[in-house]
Amino acid sequence: MAHIGIDSFELEETGEEAIKSLPQSGKQSAVVSRKRETDNRRNQSDIRKMAHDFRASLNIIIGYAELLLDEVLGKINEEQRRSLSDILKYSKRMLHMVNDIDKPS
């Protein structure tokens, strides 16, 4: 609900009523501002969904690399160990980046 102060008189209006009562340039600014807010909320929602998907995939990669490094599924040689260590290291780094991007403001 918007509060519009006129000298000592204060008027409460809903968002659409408040926009209708504004001068034309104010209406355009209010519409642009409302659209920006809506777009921003939609973008934040999309980022959260993508971050969730990335986290899920990265956690699977990290878990599988750890299983292989712990030789739960069988013996690995030194070259495989180095490769798996790199996979684990960079997957964890990416997970931290995704978490940083998705931090609440």
Domain span holding position 17: 2-101
User: How many structural domains does the chain have?
Assistant: 1
H/E/C letters for each residue in the chain? CEEEEECCEEEEECHHHHHHHCCHHHHHHHHHHHHHHHHHHHHHHHHHHHHHHHHHHHHHHHHHHHHHHCCCCCCCCHHHHHHHHHHHHHHHHHHHHHHHHCCCC
**In degrees, to the nearest 5, what angle opens at C-alpha 82 toward C-alphas 87 and 74?**
90
Share of the chain above pLDDT 70, in %: 71
Residues 95 and 55 sit within 8 Å (Cβ to Cβ)? yes
pLDDT on residue 5: 45
pLDDT on residue 13: 47
As given in the structure block, the two tokens for residue 44 are 């934040």
Model's pTM, two decimal places? 0.60
Predicted confidence band at 34 (pLDDT cuts at 50, 70, 90)? confident
| pLDDT score of 57 more than 80 | yes
- Which range, 7-11, 16-20, 43-47, is most confident? 43-47
